[in-house]
Amino acid sequence: MEPLFKGRHFITLEEWTKAEIDKLLEVSKELKRKFLNNEPTPYLTNKTAFLMFFEQSTRTRNSMEAGLAHLGGHATFLDTSMMQISHGESAKDTAVILSSYGHGIACRNCFWEVGNKYLREMAAYSTVPIMNLQCDLYHPMQGLADLMTIQEVTHSTKNLKVSIIWAYAKSHKKPISVPLTQILLFPRYAMDVTLAYPKGYDLPNWAIEKAKENARANGGSFRITNDMEEAFRNADIVIPKNWGSWVNNQSTLVIDDLLESYKSWKCTEEMMKLASPNVYYMHALPADRGNEVEDSVIDGPHSIVYQEAENRLHTAKAVMTMTMGNK
C-alpha cells in the first residue's frame, strides 16, 4: 500500500485526487473478484474500527461490519444514543478516546449544519482515519460505489448522459448528501450531468459552482433543469431520488405543502421510455416504493440497484484497507 493512503481521513471525495479515487476503485474491483472467488483477504487482521451511527442504516452498517470481518478485523457498532454523546460529550473527547482503542472511526451524522462539522472536529483530534458514513453534505461511500457500478455497466463514462432527478417521497426528510456527492463526482469523470428538481429543492450554490468547475476541468458538462421530462429524455443513466428542502427550509417536518405539490415527480415506466433504450435505473436505497418509483421500474430490466448496493461492500473494504492498514 502506498503511504499516500495510510491514515487518510475519508470525509469527502473532493479531498481525494482523481488518481487516488481510481486507485480505490481498482482495489474495490480486486476485492470484489476475490470475494466472488472465495479468496481470503486478511489485510486488516486484528484491526478494529468503531462505527458510530446517529441515524438508522442497513447497507452502510452491514457493508462496513461484514467488510471488516472479510478483511480479518472487527467492527464495533455504536448507537450514539447509548453513548455519552447523548449526555453532551464532545466530538473531541470521543475521537481522542476511540482512536486510542483501535485503528479507524466511521461515523454517520446527517443532522443539518451539524453532521459535517462534527466529522471535521473528530478528524482534528483523532489519531486514526475518520470515515464519513454519510453526513448532512456528503456520502462518499455511496458516491464511490455508484461510480464503480457505472464503470461496470458502461464502456466509458465520457459524455455519458446521467440525470440526477428529485423524486417524491414521504418516508422521512432525507439529506441532500447523495445528490450533492454525485454532482461533484460524476463531472470529474467526463459525464454529462443533469440535475433536475422542482423549485424549492435547490442544492447549495457553492456545490453547483463546484460541479460546473469540475465539469469544465474534466471534459464533462453540468446543467440544471426544473423539468422532469427533460431530465429523463435520452438519458443513459437516471437516478431519481428524493432529498429534503434543507437549503431553503430547515424545518424537520417531513410532509408539507411544498412536498405534496410535487407528487407527479415519480419514476414511472412512461418516464423511462423517454430515456435511452438501454437506460440504467439507479438508487442508493432504500427507495420509497410507490412514491419515488414504480415497482415495475425498480424491479425491471433497467434496474441495477442491487448491483449498486452490493458494491457498497467492496468499496467500503477498499477504503478501510487503504486507510487503516499498517497502523
Provide the residue ranges of all domains of the chain, joining segments of one domain with +: 13-139+312-324, 140-308
Single-letter amino acid code for the residue at 203: L
Same fold, 13-139+312-324 and 140-308: yes
Single-letter amino acid code for the residue at 55: E
Q: Three-state DSSP class for 95?
A: helix
CA 213/CA 222 separation, integer angstroms: 9
Q: Considering the domain delimited by 13-139+312-324, tell me its CATH architecture.
A: 3-Layer(aba) Sandwich (3.40)
Sheet holding 130-135, edge to edge: 74-79, 48-53, 104-109, 130-135
CA 235/CA 215 separation, integer angstroms: 17
Instruction: Judge contact between 318 and 31, C-beta under 8 A.
Output: yes
Q: What is the CATH number of domain 140-308?
A: 3.40.50.1370
Assigned C-alpha cell, 232: 429523463
Q: Is 326 left (phi over 0), alpha (psi -120 to 50) or beta?
A: left
Torsion angle in degrees (nearest 10) through CA of 115, 323, 189, 283:
-50
CA 209/CA 163 separation, integer angstroms: 17
Partners of 130 in the β-ladder = 105
Q: What proportions of the chain, in percent to the nearest 5, are helix, strand and coil?
A: 45, 15, 40
Say how many CA atoms lie within 13 Å of 256 toward its Cβ.
13
Torsion angle in degrees (nearest 10) through CA of 252, 258, 259, 263:
180
pLDDT at residue 23 in the model: 97
pLDDT in tens, the chain (327 residues): 444 899 999 999 999 999 999 999 999 999 999 999 999 999 999 999 999 999 999 999 999 999 999 999 999 999 999 999 999 999 999 999 999 999 999 999 999 999 999 999 999 999 999 999 999 999 999 999 999 999 999 999 999 999 999 999 999 999 999 999 999 999 999 999 999 999 999 999 999 999 999 999 999 999 999 999 999 999 999 999 999 999 999 999 999 999 999 999 999 999 999 999 999 999 999 999 999 999 999 999 999 999 999 999 999 999 999 999 864
Helices (H), the chain: 18-36, 59-70, 91-101, 115-125, 140-153, 177-185, 205-218, 228-232, 257-260, 269-272, 295-298, 305-324
CA 130/CA 7 separation, integer angstroms: 9
pTM of the predicted protein model:
0.97
Q: 10 Å Cβ neighbour count for 79?
A: 13
Choose among 94, 106, 102: nearest CA to 67. Answer: 106
Torsion angle in degrees (nearest 10) through CA of 164, 166, 167, 171:
110
pLDDT at residue 4 in the model: 81
Q: Three-state DSSP class for 196?
A: strand
Assigned C-alpha cell, 123: 478528524
pLDDT at residue 327 in the model: 44
